[in-house]
Amino acid sequence: MSNNKWSEQKIDQLLSQVPKQQDTRSKAEVLKRLQQDSRLAEGKLKKRKIWLPPAVAVAALITLTLLGATLLNQPNSELQNAFDSSAESESSADMDRVTSEESKMSIPEKATDESAEGSATINSTSDKETSETEMAKSAEAPVESLLTSAYSSDVENHTVFKIGLVSQDALVVPVSFLIPNDQIQQDFGNETPNTLQLYEKYAADINEEDLGFTDYHPYKGTFEIDQDQLVHRLPKEHDYDLASAALYSYDLSLQFTFEGFTQINHQNEDGSQAEFDQVGQKTPTVLTNGLYKTAVYPYTDPSGQVYMVPSLSEPYNNALDALVALKTPPNDFFANVVPMSVTYTVEEIQGVFHIKFSKPLELNSLSQEQTAQMIESFVLTGATFDVQIQLDNVIEEQWIGINFTQPLEQPVGLNKYSW
């Protein structure tokens, strides 16, 4: 804005001082002058071709775009200002033509208001519908997005490669890699590989650190099959006996990796019995083949990833005791999987363990993650005893594909990963 301040009186004073222009020529002189002008000579007038230079056309397009945005976003009082400003800025004839076309295309103020209101209503409705759709999708989330275990539907056309990985907290986590059968056939032909063959083929390819685990595999030494047993021939230099925690991780990782065998014998390279600093002669590791007879809890690793982990340090004599124990995790690594407000009893009926909630349980009243972890803990704990679980007094008959009117399916592997 200019800093010069002019009063109306001063402006009138200056205008009065401007000399007046007078034309003293007669009409005859003016007519004679016009007749002598060659530009006014008679002849066929050429039709002027009306065209818009490219630059003017581009400018017109930009003006239309900016003006349209202004019309849609400014209130009525500002719309008129926008038109006035646009009209003042158009000085050339070509731009006047463009402005004329814009005027024809302009939306009346009332219509603009109604359009804006309608747009806001549509957007609000659309947002509401989108939110409701997302909520519906969340309520019907696919099983694989919530359940961490591998079930029969997951392993169609796949082979399960199980392995015990060691977390940054020194906890051994059972993991199930789902390898496509095409890959298995390419690597093994028509042979069905056992767990040792799977381990020797694929263990070295696992980037454990990228998954949030420590670099633990492959094992030092070599393995041999002796009927239904394995022999682990250890080199002189290994760190499996550095401490009791290292020995514990070693035994648990073997337990989660080599199903299908009864035990693992530990020998030196010369065939003599291996001795560990912590225990002397290392006794064979007895393999339970998934029958851990313990409770299974959710464990969150330092990266925030949740895994279901059997608490092998707390074995139980029967499934009933293990299922009741889920109310109280044994250490700080495992989460309390059953909400404090939820109570239940356990009863075995014809070989199926029924978990009956004291009050009708509405699963949708809990978070989906918490519900999924609770269900999996019940099912996986039962699986460590090779028994089926059924949940009673649940309001929903179906939830993310799970049918609560019958015993729940046992998984084929814990903590699935695609290969």
The pLDDT score that the predictor gives to residue 64 is 57
- Calpha distance 148→162 (Å, rounded): 14
The pLDDT score that the predictor gives to residue 277 is 87
| Residue ranges of domains in the chain | 53-103, 146-286, 314-411
DSSP summary character for residue 206? -
User: DSSP assignment of 300-346, as one string?
Assistant: E-TTS-EEEEEEEEEE-SSHHHHHHHTTS-SSTTB---S-TT--EEE
The pLDDT score that the predictor gives to residue 2 is 45
The pLDDT score that the predictor gives to residue 39 is 59
For the segment 181-192, what is each residue's pLDDT rounded down to a tens digit? 999 999 999 999
- Calpha distance 310→289 (Å, rounded): 13
Give 308's contacts (C-beta < 8 A, 6+ positions apart): 148, 149, 296, 297, 298, 299, 373, 376, 377, 380, 414, 415
Asked if residue 223 lies in contact with residue 230, where contact means CB atoms within 8 angstroms, the answer is yes
The pLDDT score that the predictor gives to residue 35 is 66
The pLDDT score that the predictor gives to residue 363 is 95
Joined together, the tokens standing for residue 15 give 């205008």
Strand partners, 213: 167
Q: Which residue type is seen at 413?
A: G
Give 179's contacts (C-beta < 8 A, 6+ positions apart): 158, 159, 160, 161, 198, 202, 419
Q: Residues in the chain with pLDDT < 70?
A: 1-145
pTM score, two decimals?
Answer: 0.66
Helix, coil or strand: residue 179: strand
- Calpha distance 211→198 (Å, rounded): 19
For the segment 294-321, what is each residue's pLDDT rounded down to a tens digit? 999 999 999 999 999 999 999 999 999 9
- Calpha distance 378→407 (Å, rounded): 12
The pLDDT score that the predictor gives to residue 180 is 97
Joined together, the tokens standing for residue 336 give 């309390």
- Calpha distance 379→403 (Å, rounded): 13
Give 320's contacts (C-beta < 8 A, 6+ positions apart): 346, 348, 353
- Nearest CA to 417 out of 204, 37, 219, 155 is that of 155
Reported as type and span, the H/E element at residue 118 is helix 109-139
Joined together, the tokens standing for residue 385 give 């005893």
Joined together, the tokens standing for residue 136 give 């519906």
Q: Which residue type is seen at 372?
A: A
The pLDDT score that the predictor gives to residue 146 is 85
The pLDDT score that the predictor gives to residue 71 is 47
- Nearest CA to 357 out of 307, 323, 318, 316 is that of 323
- Calpha distance 307→19 (Å, rounded): 96
Starting at the earlier edge strand, list the strands of the sheet with 352-361: 344-349, 352-361, 388-394
